[in-house]
Amino acid sequence: MATSKQLQFPAHGATALAARDGLAASPKRLPSWLFYDEAGSALFEQITELPEYYLTRTERCIFEAYAPEILRAAGPSLTLVELGAGTASKTCILIEELLQRQSRALFYPIDVSPTALHEAVNHLGRLFPNLRVNPIVADYTGGVEALTRISGRKLVLYIGSSIGNFEPDDSIRMLRRIRRNLRPGDALLLGTDMVKSQKVMVPAYDDAQGVTCEFNKNVLARLNRELGADFDLDRFRHVALWNKRCSRMEMHLESAVAQAVFLPDIDMDVSFAAGERIHTENSYKYTTEMVDAILRDSGFRLEHTWQDRQKWFGVHLARV
Ligand code: TRP
C-alpha cells in the first residue's frame, strides 16, 4: 500500500480530486458521494430508522396504503425497474401487490453497490418464488442507458427522494435521460419529500442521537483515512439548515475555531476561519407544482400523486 502511494504522489484518485477541488473553492464544498463509503452507508441505514427521519417511513406507509391503486394506475403486465435500488426493502410492498395481479414478474434492480444488490436478490428470491430478479450493477448514467435493453411495459421506480439530492437543472437532465430511454405506455414512479414546517425538516437532518452528525463528519474521517489528513472531528460542527429561497435543506460542516488542516497525500494545507463552513449536501423539498413542472419539462405527464395524511411525502405516477 505504502509503495503504491509513493508511486503516485500526489494522490489522484476520485477522493483526492474531490478534496483538492472542493477545499480550494470559495465557499468550500465536498461532493455528497463522499458520504457513502462502507462506514457512511451503514450510518445512513441507521438514519433511515431514526424517529426524526420521517422520509423512509412515510414513503413506506404510502406504499402500504396505496399499492393496489398505484399498480392499477400503472397498467397491466408490468416489468419493474428500480433506479438506485439498494437492498430494495420498500419495493417488496409493490412486488407483493404486483404478484397478486400477474402470476409472474420480472424485476431489474439497478445500483452501484454489488453488495446491496446481492442482498436484494437473496431476500426477494426467498420471499417471491414467482419473481425473476435480474440485478444490474451500474451508476445512474449506465443504469438509465440499460433501460432501453429491457423489453415489455416498464414501471421505473425512482423513489426515496433521491431526485432531491440533484440540483434543479440536473434533476431535469436526469428525468429527460430516463424519458429518452422509455417507450410510450411506460411509466415512472417518483418519490419526493415535500415542503413542510422547518420544525419537522430540520430535526430529520439533525437528530438528537447525533447519528446524522456522525454521518456528515464521516466525510472528514474519510479524508483522514484515505488521504492521511488530520481533521480533528471535534473541532467541526454539523449544521443543518432550511434554505427557504432555494427550497432545500442544506448540510454543512462548520469549523468551530480558526484552524489549519494538512492533507499530506495531496500536499495541501487548508485553513479555516472560525465559523467557516464546508457545504456537503442539499436535499430539495418539493411542492406538487414543482413536481408537475420538472416532470413536464422533461417530457412526462403527471397522472396521479399519492400522499400520507400529513402530506409530508409524495409518490407520483408519470407517463411517457
Ligand atoms: N438522500 C438523503 C436525504 O436527502 C441523504 C441524507 C439524509 C443526508 N440525511 C443526511 C445527507 C444528512 C447529508 C446529511 O434525505
Give tens-digit pLDDT for 138-184.
988 889 999 999 999 999 999 999 999 999 999 999 999 999 999 99
In the block, cell 483515512 appears at 225
| Predicted local confidence at residue 112, as pLDDT | 85
CB 135 within 8 A of CB 109: yes
Contact partners, residue 6, CB within 8 Å, separation at least 6? none
Mean pLDDT, residues 226-231 taken together? 97
pLDDT at 8 over 70: no
Give the Å distance between the CA of 161 and the centre of ligand 1: 10
> What is the 283 CA–ligand 1 centroid distance (Å)?
7
Q: Which of 158, 198, 189 is nearest to 285 (CA)?
A: 198
Is the pLDDT reported for residue 288 higher than 80? Answer: yes
Reported for 289-293, long-range contacts at CB under 8 A and 24+ positions apart, including other chains, are: 290/247, 291/190, 291/192, 291/316
d(CA 85, CA 95): 13
For ligand 1, the distance from its centroid to the CA atom of residue 117, given in whole angstroms, is 21
Q: Check: CB of residue 8 under 8 Å from CB of residue 227.
A: no
Residue 203: pLDDT over 70 = yes
131 C-alpha vs ligand 1 centroid, how far in Å? 31
pLDDT of 2 reads: 46
57 by Cβ neighbours in 10 Å (0-12 / 13-18 / 19+) ranks as middle
Mean per-residue pLDDT, 269-285: 98
Question: Which residues surround ligand 1 with Cβ inside 6 Å?
Answer: 47, 55, 161, 164-165, 205, 212, 215-216, 251, 281, 283
Integer CA distances (angstroms), 53 to 50, 65, 207, 274, in order:
5, 20, 8, 30
- Enter the pTM of the model: 0.93
Q: Ligand 1, atom 7: nearest CA belongs to which residue? A: 205
**What per-residue confidence (pLDDT) applies to 1?**
47
Q: Which atom of ligand 1 is nearest to the CA of 204?
A: 9
- If you average pLDDT over residues 257-275, what whole number do you get? 97
Nearest residue (CA) to ligand 1, atom 4 = 283
pLDDT band at 296 (very low <50, low <70, confident <90, very high): very high
Mean pLDDT of 59-64: 98
Atom of ligand 1 nearest to the CA of 160: 1
